[in-house]
Chains A and B, each alone.
Chain A
Amino acid sequence: MIDAYKRLMNIEEPPAPKTAKGFFTDTSLCIGCKACEVACKQWNQLPADGFAMTGNSYDNTGTLGATTWRHVQFIEQAKANGHGLEQRWLMMSDVCKHCANAACLEACPTGALVRTEYGTVYVQQDVCNGCGFCVPACPFGVIDRTPTDGHFEAGTAHKCTLCYDRLKDDMTPACAKSCPTASIQFGDIDELRERARRRLGELQARGESTARLYGMPESTEAQEVGPLHAFFLLLDEPEKYNLPSIPRLPRKTMAERYGWSAFVGVGFALVAAVVFGGRR
């Protein structure tokens, strides 16, 4: 009976686990060239999202989305010092975190979102029915459904696959391969974490006092979502990079969101009452 169901649904046995893979994105090496964004779109044949300038530094991509799986953020900082201006221009290539406790995966009712043999989180396009439950579940706002632009089956959910197809042939994911300055490093997750800890030590020794790792097993941000398979070395607080200081799993965040919308809804009602009331 179960076998027949599996055949009907085209479901295979789980693959044998392999060494877990991941990304270590070291923002101290990022030059903001966006090679990762383009290499990702090239390999995955993703379309451009639109042609509008945001005015937010050199970031015209805005966010990760259904057809943008790497996104480079630009954060301009400046403060006056003795003889001029002390400036930083932080750059960071953001990506799906491939959480150990992946909320998207938990929210997915169809089994489209799966944990792969490499420990990564993957959306099976032939299974996804576009219900969209995964979208609000993600605490990082990563996964998204396609707009009806005709590129993908409209409405299905998409995000970084950590180049699942390339991993099968031991190939480096497209973004990490292209990165000219090794800001995006790909490899065995254990080795990457060791490397990240060493790197943090080096930077701190050089006086980079604000450097920190984000998404390590020992990091506070792992308390709900677990360690991230795509983790980061940051040069400032996570919030500066639009990363939640403590990413929350959906049950809690959803409740908060509902709470907020209720609150905002009441607010709107009040404003409307005043405005329209005033007109009368």
Chain B
Amino acid sequence: MAVERKGGLRPGMLSRLGMAPQPMSRESVEKKPRIRDADKAVPSVCPYCAVGCSQLVYVKDRRIIDIEGNPQSPINEGTLCPKGASTYQYLVNPNRLSTVRYRAPHSDHWEDRPLDWAMDRIARLIKETRDASFVERTADGKLVNQTTAIATLGGATMDIEENYLIKKLFSGGLGVVSIENQARI
């Protein structure tokens, strides 16, 4: 009662059950936030829009148990939008891919393949296509050292370090010119 009275309960107002806490089960008494026992809270950045909200990723036993806004951040001060608040399900989701899926030419199904096999095969395909299509000089003799038969697309949802290596490898290493990402859209 005392607690609610302090809150301004007016005389004459009904309060038949009162505001006193009631007996509870052991489970209720022992209730605690699951992140109390987290092994760590790792600073991260929201994967969705470009506002750059900071997140804290709570980890227990090498598994993510919760993702929330980081209150320290001058950008979001702990808040998140619905997408940011759903980041947990973006990462911990039964529909996520965790194996390499391969579809052979003309095949009607996916098959799982070893990562190493796929990487070797992709490297070979890149080399074959590059070697077959590489143009050193244009018809009028200009040195261009390029291929237009390979294109890459993507980068806006990825780290700058990843973008840097894509550009370095595909442009500076392989001579690919059509390197593009969502910023163009």
- Interface residues of chain A, those whose CB is within 8 Å of chain B, are 6, 9-20, 33-35, 37-39, 42-43, 100-102, 105-106, 111, 114-117, 119, 122, 124-127, 163-166, 168-169, 171-172, 174, 177-180, 189-190, 193, 217-218, 222-224, 226-227
Quick check: B7 and A14 within 8 Å, CB to CB? no
Residue in contact with B78 in the complex, picked from A43, A119, A177, A218, CB distance below 8 Å = A177
What distance in Å separates the Cβ of B23 from its nearest Cβ neighbour in chain A?
5
Binds A, one of B25-33, B99-107, B159-167: B25-33
Quick check: A177 and B68 within 8 Å, CB to CB? yes
Residue in contact with A168 in the complex, picked from B4, B33, B67, CB distance below 8 Å = B33
Quick check: A179 and B79 within 8 Å, CB to CB? yes
Q: Give the 10 A-B CB pairs with smallest separation, nearest first.
A: A39-B85, A38-B82, A114-B22, A38-B85, A117-B21, A14-B21, A217-B8, A180-B79, A126-B27, A12-B29
In the docked arrangement, what's the CA distance between A222 and B4, Å?
13
Q: Does B181 contact A (CB under 8 A)?
A: no
Quick check: B19 and A100 within 8 Å, CB to CB? yes
Quick check: A111 and B21 within 8 Å, CB to CB? no
Quick check: A217 and B13 within 8 Å, CB to CB? yes
Q: Does B142 contact A (CB under 8 A)?
A: no
- Contacts of B28 on A, CB cut-off 8 Å? 12, 114, 122, 124, 126, 164
Quick check: A168 and B17 within 8 Å, CB to CB? no
In the docked arrangement, what's the CA distance between A10 and B67, Å?
33
In the docked arrangement, what's the CA distance between A115 and B2, Å?
13
Residue in contact with B16 in the complex, picked from A101, A119, A122, CB distance below 8 Å = A101
Q: Taking A124-B27, A190-B8, A227-B9 as contacts, is the C-beta distance between A177 and B79 under 8 angstroms?
A: yes
Q: Taking A42-B88, A169-B33, A180-B80 as contacts, is the C-beta distance between A190 and B10 under 8 angstroms?
A: no
Q: Taking A17-B2, A38-B82, A169-B33 as contacts, is the C-beta distance between A126 and B7 under 8 angstroms?
A: no
In the docked arrangement, what's the CA distance between A223 and B15, Å?
10
Quick check: A127 and B25 within 8 Å, CB to CB? yes
In the docked arrangement, what's the CA distance between A46 and B153, Å?
36
Would you list which residues of chain B between 62 and 77 have a CB under 8 Å from chain A?
Answer: 66-69, 76
Quick check: B36 and A119 within 8 Å, CB to CB? no
Q: Does B115 contact A (CB under 8 A)?
A: no
Q: Does B84 contact A (CB under 8 A)?
A: yes
- Contacts of B13 on A, CB cut-off 8 Å? 217, 222-223, 226
- Contacts of B4 on A, CB cut-off 8 Å? 20, 100, 119, 227
Interface size of B by CB at 8 A reads: 46
Q: Does B183 contact A (CB under 8 A)?
A: no
In the docked arrangement, what's the CA distance between A40 and B81, Å?
12
Nearest-neighbor residue (CB-CB) of A217 within chain B: B8
A-B residue pairs in contact (CB < 8 Å), sample of 16 = A9-B25, A11-B24, A12-B24, A12-B28, A13-B23, A14-B24, A20-B19, A35-B79, A43-B66, A101-B14, A114-B21, A124-B24, A163-B33, A164-B31, A165-B34, A227-B7
In the docked arrangement, what's the CA distance between A171 and B58, Å?
15
Residue in contact with B17 in the complex, picked from A9, A106, A179, A217, CB distance below 8 Å = A106
What distance in Å separates the Cβ of A153 from its nearest Cβ neighbour in chain B?
13
In the docked arrangement, what's the CA distance between A106 and B22, Å?
12
- Contacts of A178 on B, CB cut-off 8 Å? 68-69, 79-81, 84-85
Q: Taking A15-B29, A168-B32, A224-B14 as contacts, is the C-beta distance between A114 and B23 under 8 angstroms?
A: yes
- Contacts of B148 on A, CB cut-off 8 Å? none
What distance in Å separates the Cβ of B85 from its nearest Cβ neighbour in chain A?
4
Quick check: B15 and A126 within 8 Å, CB to CB? no
- Contacts of A174 on B, CB cut-off 8 Å? 68, 85
Quick check: A101 and B2 within 8 Å, CB to CB? no
- Contacts of B76 on A, CB cut-off 8 Å? 180
What distance in Å separates the Cβ of A98 from its nearest Cβ neighbour in chain B?
11
- Contacts of A163 on B, CB cut-off 8 Å? 33
Q: Taking A111-B23, A126-B25 as contacts, is the C-beta distance between A119 and B3 under 8 angstroms?
A: yes
In the docked arrangement, what's the CA distance between A168 and B26, Å?
14
In the docked arrangement, what's the CA distance between A149 and B7, Å?
40
